[in-house]
Amino acid sequence: MATAAAQKRASGWANHLGRRRAVRRLRSGLPVIASFVFVLIVWDLVAATKLFPPSAVPSPGDVFARAWNMIWHPYGTTTLEGHAAISIGRVLAGYLLGCVAGLAIGILMKLKPITRYVLEPIFSFLRPIPAFGFITVLIIWLGIGESPKIALIFIGVVAPMTIYTVTAMDALPPDLDDAARSLGANGRQVLLKVRLPAALPDILIGMRVLLALAWTSVMGAELIAADSGLGWSIWNGMRYLQTDVIFVGVITIAVIGAAMDGLLIAVTVRLTGGWKARMRGRE
């Protein structure tokens, strides 16, 4: 079939683009590694001058030793990887639920304008409130278990995800809309088969922003009424002036956050690479 050939050609394009992207990423990664080494050296030098006590500026060696210790011996309720697993679980649960719900609400708002009429003002009211502002209310409603923490991340993700979905679906190039309609598609078909796929790249970009936001939210969720998680480790380190623990927590979150971000980029390229290549072929 002609479409199969076109698809094959498109995926060939995507692979080609992917490879070029990989080379570019490697080349653009070098300055980041260099800056990392630079920061590490400056940090070690500053710590070595002993201008600041180790409780303020622990050396990179201190931080590594603390991390090593936390891997083998529990810090609080569990080990470093235990805290990491707990935080990752909370982030993933709240983030994925929030993305799915936001996508569903966004599509509903496009399908049924009345829902948009009602929900848009409510979202505009909720938008200026950072998710962790709700932490105390959520604890009163849901207790001190996992549910208020996951709900907190969910709240932070769902409202912007809805807005991203609606905005992305609003921004369909008029010629695509016309083309679909002239081929006999009705409003609902245009919405679900043209608008939604065309909006996917923009929605995925929004999801990248929200993943970073979810990691900020989990730190808020683990601030109050928590006894585990990377955020809890950081706050506990702050309360007991264990600055090395703070650094271990911050660096672990940064590494996991960057890895999840990279994963999401890979998914984005896989999902929309062929789509973009087809768009390019159309031009």
Partner 1 sequence: MFRSLGRHLAVFAAVILLWEAATLVFAPSSIALPSPVMVFQALVQMGQFGFNGVPLQDHIGITFLRIVEAFAASLLVGVPLGFAMGSIPLIRKVVTPFITLFRPVPPFAWLAIFVVWFGIGELPKVLLIFVGSVTIIALNSMDGMLRVPAEFRDAAATLGASRFQVFWHVMPIAALPQILTGARVALVVAWTSVIAAELVAAQSGIGVIILQSAGFLRTDQTFAGLILLSLCGGLTDTVMGQLQARTAAWGNR
Residue ranges in contact with partner 1 by CB under 8 A:
31-32, 34-36, 39, 55-56, 117-118, 121-122, 124-130, 132-137, 139-141, 212, 215-216, 219-220, 223-224, 231, 234-235, 237-238, 241, 243, 246-247, 249-250, 253-255, 257-258, 261
**Identity of the residue, 14 or 91, whose beta carbon is nearer to partner 1 in the bound complex:** 91
Which C-beta is closer to partner 1: that of 95 or that of 247? Answer: 247
Least separation in angstroms between CB 181 and partner 1: 26
**Centroid of chain to Cα 171:** 23
Phi and psi angles of residue 53, each rounded to the nearest 5 degrees, phi first: -70, 155
Least distance between partner 1 and beta carbon 12 (Å) = 31
Dihedral sign (CA 67, 68, 69, 73): positive
Nearer to partner 1, 82 or 133 (CB): 133
Shortest gap between Cβ of 175 and partner 1 (angstroms)?
18
Q: Compare residues 6 and 129 and give the one whose CB is closer to partner 1.
A: 129
CB closer to partner 1 out of 185 and 256: 256
Cα four-point dihedral sign 273, 164, 207, 247: positive
Distance in Å, CB of 5 to partner 1, minimum: 36
Judged by beta carbon, residue 222 or residue 277, the one nearer partner 1 is 222
Task: Decide: 155 and 70 in contact? Cβ < 8 Å.
Answer: no
Q: Of 114, 219, 210, 91, which is closest to residue 162 (Cα–Cα)?
A: 210
Per-residue CA distances from 254 to 105, 127, 231, 247, 257 (Å): 31, 26, 12, 10, 5
DSSP string, 132-196: GGGHHHHHHHH-SSHHHHHHHHHHHHHHHHHHHHHHHHHT--HHHHHHHHHTT--HHHIIIIIIH
Side chain identity, residue 47: A
